[in-house]
Amino acid sequence: MKQILVIGIGAGNPDYMTVQAINALNTVDVFFVLDKGEAAGELVDLRDEICRRFITHENYRTVRVPQPERDRASSDYKAGVDAWHADKAQVFETLIRDELADGQCGAFLVWGDPAFYDSTIRILQQILARGVPAFAYQVIPGISAMQALAAGHRIPLNRIGEPVMVTTGRRVASGFEEDSVVLLDSGAGLRALRQEEGHIFWGAYLGTPDEVLIHGRLKDVADEILRLREDLRRRKGWIMDTYLLRRDAE
């Protein structure tokens, strides 16, 4: 039986790797990497660095393939994502079938934690539902951007007895009623919140040498964050950021 590991590698710092994840790395025969292109080459480089740093043998190889593009112009968001996942499932299926021998272990290294807004687990489940190729899979958790954000700002995510919503920029654009951690915001969510009452704890490139942290009242710092994230995106070619919203500060 072929084995697949979905390994959370943390939010950008190799030191975020857990002992469980390091042990898992050392059982892998083939690493599958979806390449997002030259602009996001640092994301691939970090995966390579993690392998060099923590794998204690040389009996593994890496297979890189271009990541399928999502149609961001689609008027139906869910249909567009479903089509993108179907394209990725075809790529995953080909990799597992052609690059992994029976009895070998393959792995996908997932930024942050595989449980939070990542498609890898769902795509593997789609492939298994079709029955070919057959494989077993295991998920190894990682340090998420949410955890790195809270550590960077030296705050807990939740307040005593209060819930925290985990959501996306697309959904928070209409406002927020409770403390919310926002992921995958292209900037539209934050632009819509500029005049909202409340506080924001924002971070980009969390855990990396380029980490940037800003916090304050939304009305005071939202425009500053928007200008900075666009400048960072232009200079680096990519950006990963997240933020915590609170109706009032402690």
Residue 83, classified by CB atoms within 10 Å of its CB into exposed (0-12), middle (13-18) or buried (19+), is middle
Strand order in the sheet with 135-140: 61-66, 30-35, 105-110, 2-8, 135-140
Of 140, 162, 192, the domain-final residue? 140
CATH number for the domain spanning 61: value is 3.40.1010.10
Distance CA 107, CA 62 (A): 10
Q: Which residues pair with 10 in a beta bridge?
A: 112
pLDDT for residue 232: 95
Q: Token pair for residue 15?
A: 């030191």
pLDDT tens column, 108-118: 999 999 999 99
Q: In terms of domains, do 117 and 234 share one? A: no
* Claim to verify: residue 71 and residue 156 sit in the same structural domain: no
Do 136 and 149 lie in a common domain?
Answer: no
What pLDDT, on a 0 to 100 scale, did the predictor assign at position 38? Answer: 63
pTM listed for this prediction? 0.91
Q: What is the pLDDT of residue 75?
A: 77
Question: Do 62 and 165 lie in a common domain?
Answer: no
Q: pLDDT value at position 147?
A: 97
- The residue among 140, 155, 171 that closes a domain is 140
**Given this model, what pLDDT does residue 131 score?**
86
pLDDT confidence of residue 69: 86
Same domain, 92 and 213: no
* 172 plus 76 within the same structural domain: no
121 and 71 in a common domain: yes
β-pair partners for 105: 3
Strand segments, DSSP code E, in 9-85 are: 30-35, 61-66
Rounded distance between C-alpha atoms, residue 91 and residue 86, angstroms: 9
* 7-48: pLDDT as tens digits: 999 998 999 999 999 999 999 999 999 987 765 678 888 899
Q: Give the pLDDT score at 36.
A: 75
Q: What is the mean pLDDT of residues 202-224?
A: 95
Average pLDDT over residues 117-127: 95
Question: Which of 73, 106, 140 is the last residue before a domain boundary?
Answer: 140
**Residue 38 and residue 134 share a domain:** yes
The gap from C-alpha 167 to its chain's centroid, in whole angstroms, comes to: 13
Query: In CATH, what number is assigned to the domain containing residue 242?
Result: 3.30.950.10
- Digit-coded pLDDT (tens) for 47-59: 999 999 999 999 9
Task: Work out the percent of the chain whose per-residue pLDDT is above 90.
Answer: 79
Side chain identity at residue 59, one-letter code: N
Q: Are residues 10 and 132 in the same domain?
A: yes
Does 56 share its domain with 154?
Answer: no
**Two tokens at 216?**
């304050």
Give the model's pLDDT for residue 40. Answer: 63
Judge whether residue 208 has pLDDT over 60: yes
* Residues 97, 166 within the same domain: no
Domain count, the chain: 2
pLDDT category of residue 96 using cuts at 50, 70 and 90: very high
CB burial class (10 A; 0-12, 13-18, 19+) of residue 106?
buried
Residues of the domain holding 152? 145-246
Q: Are residues 134 and 151 in the same domain?
A: no
Q: In the structure encoding, which two tokens stand for residue 175, read together? A: 């406002």
pLDDT at residue 188 is higher than 90: yes
Q: Averaged over 77-87, what is the pLDDT?
A: 88
pLDDT of 74 over the 90 cut? no
